[in-house]
Structure 1
Amino acid sequence: MYDDVLLPTDGSGAADAAVPHAIELADRYGARLHVLYVADTTEYSTVTFEDDVVDPLAEEGQSVVDEVVEKAGDLNVEAVGVVMKGGAYETILQYVEDEGIDVVVMGTHGRRGLDRALLGSVTERIVRTSDVPVLTVREDEE
């Protein structure tokens, strides 16, 4: 049923809540887990240091991705980690299409009402526009 599971992550508590669900789903179906961190280039994230451009978000992303890939590997789940630059939801949707992803597992902050309407949500946009199923996991309130 599922050969490729995507876990987009930003290293937040909400994203972390989705990690065990994504690993379990990949394990249950013998699927490959794709761990994706998008360094959002729609926000100012680059700094110049001695003529080299360093992107601290991409560096942080690699650390976040490596940690999840290691957790999956510890449970004998095949996992690949990817850090990409771009707009978060657009990049996630493009990755889904390019890699033939079968299901997306994402965390949600569980905002409601005016907060949700004003702030929007990458997860909500993915849920509304994805061509594949999206499993959302609410962050624990504690």
Structure 2
Amino acid sequence: MYDTILLPTDGSDGSRQAAAHAFDLARQYDATVHVLYVADTQRDSLTTVGTEVVDALESEGQEAVSKVVDSDVAHGVDIEEVVVQGHPDDEILAYVEDNAIDLVVMATHGRSGLGRYLLGSTTEKIVRSSPVPVFTVRVGEE
């Protein structure tokens, strides 16, 4: 039923909770999990270190992806690690289309009311726009 599962991560505890579900589903269906971090280019991510320009958000993204991939819940699952730059909503949806993703697994932070409208919700936007099913994992407010 599922051959390719997309697990967008932002490095949060919620993303790690969603990872447990994604990897469990992957083991059940012998699927590959694509762990994706989108370095949000709407933020100023470039810093200078010596003479080299280092993209701090990409580095942060690789660290977030590595934490998921190196965790105990990932054991025994084929994994693709991906860090891209762009707007998270757009990049997640493009990745779904470009990589024949069958299922997206994401955390939702459980915000409601004004907080949800002010902060926006990447998960909510993906649920409304995704051409494939989205499995959401509700986590408590921080």
TM range (shorter): over 0.9
Matching residue of 2:50: 50
Deviations 1:94-131 (A, max 9, x none): 01111000000001110001111121111111001000
Matching residue of 1:121: 121
Counting aligned pairs with the same residue, the percent is: 54
In 1, the alpha carbon distance for the partners of 2:117 and 2:73 equals 38
Matching residue of 1:87: 87
Query: What amino acid sits opposite 1:80 in the alignment?
Result: E
Matching residue of 2:59: 59
Aligned to 1:28, the other structure's residue is in SS state helix
In 2, the alpha carbon distance for the partners of 1:60 and 1:35 equals 14
Query: What amino acid sits opposite 1:55 in the alignment?
Result: D
Contact 2:110 2:141 in 1 (8 A): no
Contact 2:110 2:140 in 1 (8 A): no
Contact 1:41 1:85 in 2 (8 A): yes
In 1, the alpha carbon distance for the partners of 2:11 and 2:108 equals 12
Aligned to 1:10, the other structure's residue is in SS state coil
Report the TM-score, using the length of structure 1 for normalisation. 0.93
Query: What amino acid sits opposite 1:56 in the alignment?
Result: A
Aligned to 2:84, the other structure's residue is in SS state strand
In 2, the alpha carbon distance for the partners of 1:141 and 1:117 equals 15
Give the C-alpha shift of residue 141 in structure 1: 5.1
Off by >6 Å, runs of 4+ in structure 1: none
Give the C-alpha shift of residue 50 in structure 1: 3.1
Matching residue of 1:76: 76
In 2, the alpha carbon distance for the partners of 1:25 and 1:44 equals 36
**Count of aligned residue pairs for this structure pair:** 142
What's the C-alpha RMSD, in Å, of the aligned pairs? 1.6
Contact 1:6 1:104 in 2 (8 A): yes
Give the C-alpha shift of residue 74 in structure 1: 5.4
In 1, the alpha carbon distance for the partners of 2:72 and 2:95 equals 20
Deviations 1:6-58 (A, max 9, x none): 00000012212201001001111000000001110111111123342211111
Name the stretch that deviates more: 64-73 or 34-43. Answer: 64-73
In 2, the alpha carbon distance for the partners of 1:18 and 1:56 equals 25
